[in-house]
Structure 1
Amino acid sequence: MRIGLLTEGGYPYVGGDAGLWCDRLVRGLGQHDFDVYALSRDKRQEDEGWTPLPSQVRRVRTAPLWMAEDDGVGYGRRARRRFTDAYGELAATLCAGSAEAAGLAPTAGAESAVEASATQADRFANALYGLAELAREEGGLVGALRSETAVRALERACRAPRAPRTVREARVPELLTVAAHLERALRPLSLDWYEDDGLGSADLCHAASGGAAALPGLLARHFHGVPLLVTEYGVRLRTHYLAATDAAPAVRALVTAFHGRLAAEIYRRAERITPGNAHARRWQERCGADRAKLHTVHPGMDAAPFTEVGEAPDAADPDTLVWVGRIEPAKDLISLLHAFAQIRKEEPKTRLRIIGAADGAEGAAYLAHCRALAAQLFPDEAEGPHAVGDNPVSFEEIGGPEAPTPAEAYASGAVTVLSSVVEGFPISLVEAMFCARATVSTDVGAVVEVIGGTGLVVPPRNPRALAEACVALLRDPERRARLGAAARARALELFTVEQNVAAFHGIYLEIVARCPVRRVVLEAGGEPLPFAVPAEARVPGRWTDPALRGVVRRGPGWAGQRAPVRASAAVAAMPGAERVR
């Protein structure tokens, strides 16, 4: 089976998001071939290079999402008219989408509202695929999307009589901002990835996230009928909603409407959607995903580094609390420090180890603030305003003398604490569970789903509740041991690399069996050649070397052109990763 793995700002880049998950998936499915199609996030990411790739990665094609040079494509009169019509239709659906979000759309009953929403979804899809077909035939959209024609089409849609007041009052700078955002979001439409020897040769497209990463998968499905699988461990639409809070009202309305329409189209066309947790699943259902398509697949983590600690839980210091993670305001270490001040009143021998690195300038400032607060809360035990020598609170990094590895960090304490106010999938909790540690966590994100009944959960931003839960575990070693053993068993059952790879292997087979790509091969005379592409085409051996001499017809949306068939044996002999921009 040939998988087109679609990523944005992730695998195979060294500094990519979710790169480790993709790498484990690809290495675990050595029986399949992978072509990686990666959108890079910035120049720094490209300069850092790729992670070492396994042999089953046959090809890597990359494109920068952070910049696009003018393609120099000049449209004729007919092409300009097609662009204006398609872009104007897309802009009109965004105005309608902003009206629906604001509750301004006319409502004449539940059925009519559903029909109207479906009509707008179809209009958006037709406009999107119309732009994609135009880009494929004319050589790109970059210049057209940056043109005055695009801005004027957007302005006409916003000034339409039934447009909501928020977008009708948009000024020229706001229209330019929205047009620039749409140009960036629609850059994947201009890529040359959609030929027969590109995504058209895949048996399945697997998008490692929603949004821009899934857009090439939509086009592969449109042009070639390649089925699409979408995995979201963090819902991209939610990220766009949060990022748009500081924008002008008109910009926020139009941008969020675009990403909402795109997410709905991705969910509608995908054969299967795999959220990483129930929190992401609820978001996807709210954004229009069909419940029948949803199948939760928890992230897979390597349990081996934590085996030694997990099998010897009694070696922990019974008077030490451990916090491990990335230091940033969302982790709410301030509440943890205030909670620890109450814990010290109940259990004076207790110590708190905060082990993690600051994330960027904001994280560094937050770490400095936390250090100052620790010195203020425990003034008699610190040697200076920022000293940690005799302070019961220590700030350390992985790789230091006391905690050279994550496993040793968790091993140093009897209870692991998570105090976040915002959390997606809590990786640090799973690592602590592998180490058979009892945990105290705040009820955010997927925490309750991960913990189950193997730890204590308290409300976020509640230092008193956090302190009471920690004291309860510190005073009851038998309960700690019982919860830790249950936590390790749960983590080994649900959150290992093996279960993740096995789940996706089954989903791949299910999708390809139900939705095979039907490639029509023609004889020299132009007639279809039966059984020209057998089911065994991906199996090495004599079945993969047929002497095919014909032409293959491209998928729907292409102007009936023909291209030579490439035997799968030739594909299998392709060199490893090659950068194609």
Structure 2
Amino acid sequence: MRIGLLTDGGFPYAAGESRVWCDRLVRGLARHEFDLYALSRSACQTAAGLVDLPPHVRQVRTAPLWAPEDDGHTYGRRDRRRFARHYTELAASICAEDAGDAFAEGLYGLAELARESGGLHAALRSEVAVRALESACRAPGARRSVRGASVLDHLDFADRLERALRPLSLDWYGDDGLAAADLCHATAGGPAALPGLLAKRFFGVPLLVTEYGVQLRAHYLGTGSAADAPSAPVRALLAAFHGRLTAEVYRQAAVITPGNTHARRWQEKCGAERAKLRTVHPGMEARRFTAVGETEGDEDTLVWVGRIEPAKDLIALLHAFAEIRKEEPHARLRIVAAPVRGDDTAPYLAHCRALAAQLFPDEATDPHAIGDNPVSFEEIGGPEAPTLADAYAAGAVVVLSSVVEGFPVSLVEAMFCARATVSTDVGAVVEVIGGTGLVVPPRNPRALADACLALLRDPERRQRLGAAARARALELFTVEQNIAAFHGIYLELLSHAPVRRTETGVPFAHPAEAFLPGTWTGPGRTPSWADGPAPAGAAAGRSHDDA
């Protein structure tokens, strides 16, 4: 089978969030051929280059969406009218409360125009596009949130929309591209799945969409928090566009694979049909934690592992640990941070260290000390925690204190290490834990402290929960189960897809009689394979005259 793998800001770039699981998927399915179609989101990512790829990857095509693009192409009068018609449909569907089928008609109309007449870059930024947006925002039935959009808002949104629609103008849709694929697998929703939509539209290639983090949810959470956040009308227009696009992706996909039930509920709310949804948990490497699972950590130590940021709510964890210390004076807390680039987390980390010094004024003040200081701030790769496995091996209980969480990777890693866990009830935590750990409400330091105390005081319970957690993780969250699940889905989708290529060989080129002994060829006749290597078993089919 030939798979067209669509990625957005990840694999096969050396720097990408989805690089690890995509790399494992491709290497684990060596019996299939892969064509990689990658969208790049930053210059740093492109500069990092590509990872080494296995031989069954036939080709790699990349497109930098971060760079300005102007091919100098302009449309003639007929194509300009055609563009205006389709863009007006698209803009009206984005601005209107009820779009019907206008979004799909406008989107595919623009895609067909780009395929037949060249790129859309100049047209999407033209005065025609801006005027169409302005008319759509002021039309009867337009959303109230976009009616007050200014000319600057229209220009800003037109620029952002051009970047989002840039996959429509790529050269990926020829006979040597997605037309040759048996299946398109989009590793994210939204604009990353656009090439898959067009492959289905133009060539009938079935589309599989995997979302370990729902793209639309990430857009809702991140649009207003960025330093260069757009104005309120532009945010409303972007939300409407991504909502329409997500609904169309879900409608055209043959199968959608969320990574957990939390993502699945989001997809259902965004229009995904329940019959198309198949939960496939992320696959994680378990072997590096095998040795840790056979040992016991310090029975008085709590361990927290992750990225230090406000969503992890280390403030509540520190307050909870202050309550724990009142009843268990020998308890210790090790906060082990994953190494990150840049200093975005530095202010929050400084705030946490200041709070720890305030809560434990009579303790050692060195933030890196592990001796008498009950709280230590460490980093993976440092002397205290050289590896991730060493971090989990240091304690008897692993704590997760987040207020926002998708799929809790650190929780699964702790389960591989046979560690008892205390977690807050956010994201997919309850689904992952499945009764093998303690779960408390978020933003509740007292409940978090009580749960940690219960496990610190009961070694036998810790051992039972840790063993059950390890068994659950090995059953549900390994790389092997992830690859097996996708292999089965690939075969299922191919079995339902129509045969579109016939160059796989000549039917009945080797008759069944060729594999049987006897004089089936007749006097003076030559088997069809005489000019080339004989098929297996053909030697047994020699005629008696040759004997």
What is residue 272 of structure 1 aligned with on the other side?
A: 255
Deviation at 1:390, TM superposition (A): 2.8
The match for 2:135 is 156
Letter in 2 for 1:201: A
RCO higher in structure (CA 8 A, sep ≥6):
1
* Aligned position for 2:302: 321
Q: 1:430 to 1:41 in 2, by over 3 A?
A: same
* CA displacement at 1:489 relative to structure 2: 0.3
Superposition pairs of residues 108-147 of structure 1, within 5 angstroms = 120-147=99-126
Q: Helix, strand or coil for the counterpart of 1:285?
A: helix
1:116-136 deviation line (CA, Å, top 9, x unaligned): x5xx34211111010001111
8 A contact 1:121–1:265 mirrored in 2: no
Tell me how far apart the structure 2 counterparts of residues 369 and 482 of structure 1 sit (CA, whole Å): 36
Corresponding residue SS for 2:395 = coil
Map of 1:393 onto structure 2 = 375
CA offset at residue 283 of structure 1? 0.4
The verdict on how the C-alpha distance between 1:72 and 1:363 changes in structure 2, with shifts beyond 3 A counting, is: same
Tell me by how many angstroms 1:66 deviates: 1.0
Q: Partners of 2:510 and 2:119 in 1: how far apart?
A: 41
**Structure 2 residue 72 is matched with structure 1 residue 72:** yes
1:353 maps to 2:334:
yes
Task: Give the equivalent residue in structure 2 for 1:556.
Answer: none
Alignment correspondent of 2:441: 459
In 2, Cα distance between equivalents of 1:484 and 1:42: 41
Letter in 1 for 2:116: E
Deviation by residue 1:88-127 (Cα, 9 ceiling, x = unmatched):
110000111xx3xxxxxxxxxxxxxxxxx5xx34211111
With over 3 angstroms needed to count, the CA separation of the structure-2 counterparts of 1:79 and 1:371, relative to structure 1, is same
User: Which aligned pairs between 1:226-375 and structure 2 lie closer than 5 A?
Assistant: 226-245=205-224, 247-310=230-293, 312-313=294-295, 315-357=296-338, 359=340, 360-375=342-357
SS at 1:7's partner residue? strand
| Contact 2:367 2:377 (C-alpha < 8 Å) held by counterparts | no
The residue correspondences of 1:189-204 to structure 2 (distance < 5 A) are 189-204=168-183
Distance 1:54 1:326 in 2: 31
8 Å contact kept, 2:13–2:49 = yes
Q: 1:436 to 1:3 in 2, by over 3 A?
A: same
Shift of 1:177: 1.4
Distance in 1, matches of 2:66 and 2:283, equals 29
Q: Show the counterpart of 2:25.
A: 25
- Report % sequence identity: 73
Distance in 2 of aligned mates of 1:83 and 1:68: 21
CA deviation profile, 1:456-489 (whole Å, cap 9, x unmatched): 0011111111000000000000000000000000
| CA distance in 2 between partners of 1:437 and 1:146 (Å) | 55
1:166 aligns with 2:145: yes
Describe the shift of the 1:376–1:358 C-alpha distance in structure 2 as closer, same or farther (beyond 3 A).
Answer: farther
Relative to 1, partners in 2 of residues 1:542 and 1:433: Cα closer, same or farther, differing over 3 Å? Answer: farther
Q: Structure 1 residue 356: deviation in Å?
A: 1.0
What's the TM-score, normalizing by structure 2?
A: 0.90
Match of 2:493 in 1: 511
SS at match of 1:417: strand
Measure how far apart 1:400 and its partner are: 1.7
- Change over 3 Å in CA distance of 1:488–1:501 after alignment to 2: same
Inter-partner Cα distance in structure 1 for 2:339 and 2:59: 36
Pick aligned residue for 2:455 from 473, 479, 484: 473
Q: Which amino acid in structure 2 is aligned with residue 465 of structure 1?
A: A
Task: Give 1:58's aligned residue.
Answer: 58
2:526 alignment partner in structure 1? none
Equivalent-residue separation in structure 2 for 1:493 and 1:534 (angstroms): 41
Name the amino acid aligned to 1:308.
Answer: A
Within 1, Cα distance between the matches of 2:506 and 2:407? 38
Matched residue type, 1:296: T
- After TM superposition, the structure 1 = structure 2 runs for residues 431-442 of structure 1, keeping only pairs within 5 Å, are 431-442=413-424
Partner Cα separation in structure 1 for residue 436 and residue 144 of structure 2: 51
AA aligned opposite 2:268 = E
* Structure 1 runs not aligned, ≥5 long: 100-116, 520-530, 544-581
Counterpart position of 2:386:
404
Amino acid at match of 1:295: R
CA-atom RMSD in angstroms: 1.8
Q: Which residue of 2 aligns with 1:112?
A: none
Amino acid at match of 1:134: L
Contact 1:352/1:393, CA 8 A, preserved across alignment:
yes
| Residue correspondences, number | 505
Alignment CA distance shift 1:140-1:542 (3 Å)? farther
Report the equivalent of 1:569.
none
Q: Highest Rg: 1 or 2?
A: 2
CA gap of 1:73–1:340, structure 2 versus 1, over 3 A, is: same
Within 2, Cα distance between the matches of 1:385 and 1:455?
A: 30
Which stretches of structure 1, 4 residues or more, deviate above 6 A after TM superposition?
A: 385-388
Q: 1:329: Cα distance to partner?
A: 1.2
Corresponding residue of 1:572: none
TM-score when scaled to structure 1?
0.84
Q: Distance in 1 between matches of 2:503 and 2:35?
A: 23
Residue 193 of structure 1: SS of its match in structure 2? coil
Please report how far the alpha carbon of residue 389 of structure 1 lies from its aligned counterpart in structure 2 after TM superposition.
5.4
In structure 1, what is the equivalent of residue 432 of structure 2? Answer: 450
